[in-house]
Amino acid sequence: MDLGAGARHNRTCMESLDTASIDTALRLIGIGQLVLVALVIWRSAADVVVRRVTVALLVGVIGYLINSGPQFPALAMPLRLAVVLASNLAPLFLWLFAHVVFDRAVDRRVGLAALGLIVASVMVYVLRRWCEPLIPLADAVGHLTAALLVIHAMVIALNEREDDLVEQRRRFRVAFVLVIAVLAIGVLASEAWFGFGHEPAWMLASQSVIIALAILGIGIAMLTADPALLAPPRGTGTLNAGDDWSPSERVLREKLETTMAQRVWLEPGLTIGSLAERLDVPEHRLRALINRRLGHRNFSAFLNAHRIAEAKAVLADPARVDLPVLTIAMDLGYGSLAPFNRAFRESVGQTPTEFRRSAFAEPEKG
């Protein structure tokens, strides 16, 4: 009888048990932190869409922590299905979170397509007894969809940072990309390499440590953040002077009024940096004025306020009724028709063509 082999086996079992216990404890700590952050955000003054998407993302992360944990097989089937669905939807919730927090319009077609692919891959898991040949394909489609959603969310955060006027949100964009790059890409890569549920115990425990620390950092950031990060101020968009304007703000306001009166907003590719250089002021001061005093969270929204007002005047002008919409878009500084149509629809609720048609519609006879 090999007593040495038995001792080695017992020691290995104890080490595995210790690793599993630590992993479970860390996951429970992370879940508790996520629940706390979700409750605080749900009761905050943030926009209702932001609150719903943020809480959905946190629920998705909770689902992943449970789904990838050692206690998951012990769950009853209905609860297990809910956990798997929440876990797999986390990348989609992350993608939506990037859109709503960074003030970007959601392409519903992309969102619905991603939702369909994710749900289909989950259904293959649920019906694996009858769909076993499809499991590798469903796994590949699910991971590819998740990776594309995560990468696109990071692209949104980085690409539009210069257009962002909210200083705290500009910093949050960088932290968002770093955290997501480490967590999401790392998780997806390990699952793709080892196969979901087959990762080594040490890797799962390491993931739990990193996720717990990341959740703690994100929780502190969101719970102590300026409300403007999740609850955008609603400004008038006009340069109305008030008694609380400082002398430097008044001088900068006058410079901005004078420059905007010269219709610089017609210039294609105008950026906050080039406008600040023209005004001979630090860029951060101009950002603060347009954001805090005028209520615009993006420089493009500030420009669109002037451009759309001019577009409405042109579209309703009888002398220019035959001027093509594309020509109007190019004259207003838009590089193509699509961004002009999108900005006009978001501001007015109609496309430029619909607005022109309604402007020249004959009044109904009573």
Burial class (CB in 10 A: 0-12, 13-18, 19+), 316: middle
pLDDT at 197: 56
What is the rounded CA–CA span in Å between residue 128 and residue 135?
7
What is the rounded CA–CA span in Å between residue 101 and residue 74?
37
pLDDT at 296: 87
pLDDT at 224: 64
Domains of the chain with CATH codes: 3-229 (1.20.1070), 247-359 (1.10.10.60)
pLDDT at 59: 93
The residues of the chain scoring below 70 in pLDDT are 1-19, 73-74, 188, 191-202, 218-243, 362-366
Give the type of residue at 25: A
What is the rounded CA–CA span in Å between residue 22 and residue 31?
14
Q: What are 172-229's pLDDT values in tens digits? A: 888 888 887 777 777 767 766 666 556 666 677 777 777 777 777 766 666 665 555 6
pTM given for the model: 0.76
pLDDT at 328: 93
In angstroms, how far is CA 41 from the centroid of its own chain?
16
pLDDT at 9: 44
What is the rounded CA–CA span in Å between residue 63 and residue 28?
12
Q: What are 264-299's pLDDT values in tens digits? A: 988 888 899 999 999 999 999 999 899 888 888 889
Burial class (CB in 10 A: 0-12, 13-18, 19+), 335: exposed
pLDDT at 10: 46
What is the rounded CA–CA span in Å between residue 122 and residue 135?
10
What is the DSSP track for 206-253? Answer: HHHHHHHHHHHHHHHHHHSS-GGGTS-----SS----TT--HHHHHHH
Residue 2: its H or E element: none
pLDDT at 352: 93
